[in-house]
Every structure is written in C-alpha cells, then in structure tokens.
A and B are shown apart, each in its own frame.
Chain A
Amino acid sequence: DQQVKQNSPSLSVQEGRISILNCDYTNSMFDYFLWYKKYPAEGPTFLISISSIKDKNEDGRFTVFLNKSAKHLSLHIVPSQPGDSAVYFCAASGGDSWGKFQFGAGTQVVVTP
C-alpha cells in the first residue's frame, strides 16, 4: 500500500526556470514531511522539511508547500540549475508511524541548458 505517491516519474525543465515537484499522501496522520535529493551512485541527501503546523517552508532556492486538506505537498526550485538534475523523493511520517518515513517513488529532474 503506497501511502506516499509521486505521480510524475520525470520532469524536464530549462535552466533558470521553475521546477515544481508534486507529492500526494493518503494517511491523514502524517504530520512531518521531507524532501530528499539523490544523485546516481549516492545515497539520498536531505533537502528540506515541513511540519503540519506550517504550510510553507523556504530555504534558498527551495520552497516546500503543504496543503493538508488536499494531502498534497510540492517542492519548488527557483531558479533551476544544472546541478539540480537528480531524483527527488518526498517522505512522510506521523501518527503511529512516527519515526518511520514512507517514501514516494521519486521524480527524476533534468535541467537543460
């Protein structure tokens, strides 16, 4: 049962433009969300987080938005840079699964010159 879904397996965006990655979840008990970035042959690295008490968190070029009623979060990257080309995973935790993050399948982002 996939409780965290990233329905876009890939995204291509021009350098300098905005990248928007989407993530949906089904468990209403989830209250803490993370985004990870993964380069080939490396482990995922933490990017940004958001808790359910907020609807937006910003860190430099990266902003995560949370819509609790829609059980939806998104990651915005502005402006996109070639080094952003990677696979991005969203992850969620909360309720009785506290400390145990469920990951989405990932979205491959390719930033073109």
Chain B
Amino acid sequence: AQSVTQPDIHITVSEGASLELRCNYSYGATPYLFWYVQSPGQGLQLLLKYFSGDTLVQGIKGFEAEFKRSQSSFNLRKPSVHWSDAAEYFCAVGAWGGGGNKLTFGTGTQLKVEL
C-alpha cells in the first residue's frame, strides 16, 4: 500500500524568502504524485502533479516540485514566498488499479508567512 510522509508540521518563512516543503512517499511502482493547497475553511486546490516525463514539474502560483526516485521524494519549492501563500499544503500519491484510483494524503504542512 502507498503512504506519504510530510515531516514538517509547521513551517514559518519571511515574505520574499525561498520555500521548500518536503514530501516522501512509499509506493512499489512509479506513482502519481500531487501537491494541493488548502486555505482555511476551503477545499483543496491542485498546485501540480507528476507521473512521468521531466522530473521538474511547474505548477500554478509560481510553485514547482522535483521528483527524485532515488530518494522517494517530491519536494515542493517556491523561490519567493508571498504573504498570500500562507495555507496548508498536502502531498498525495495516487495509485491506479483494483477498484479505482484513490489518493493517499500526507498529514499536511502548515505554512506561515511573516511580513
């Protein structure tokens, strides 16, 4: 079964600073990998996804993520954080097969941005 670990529960960065959120996954084959963002009281918005091809994936809002098979990681990055990026970020792994294609989510990283 697949699993996702987000080792950082909370991260605080200054506005304008760079950001990296860590995600490690466990899955037997090449996984589908996703990053979602959730603002308070809202649903989840897809930032980016990866399945194959270029291991550096560009997403919305200036985010990118790099798939590293050797490290089983899919870390999310942004070169310069804006105050509006404060939210909770979830990494997820998807598996196809059996009865469907469900996602397994990490427990999330809460990002705080200091002005």
A joins B in a complex: no
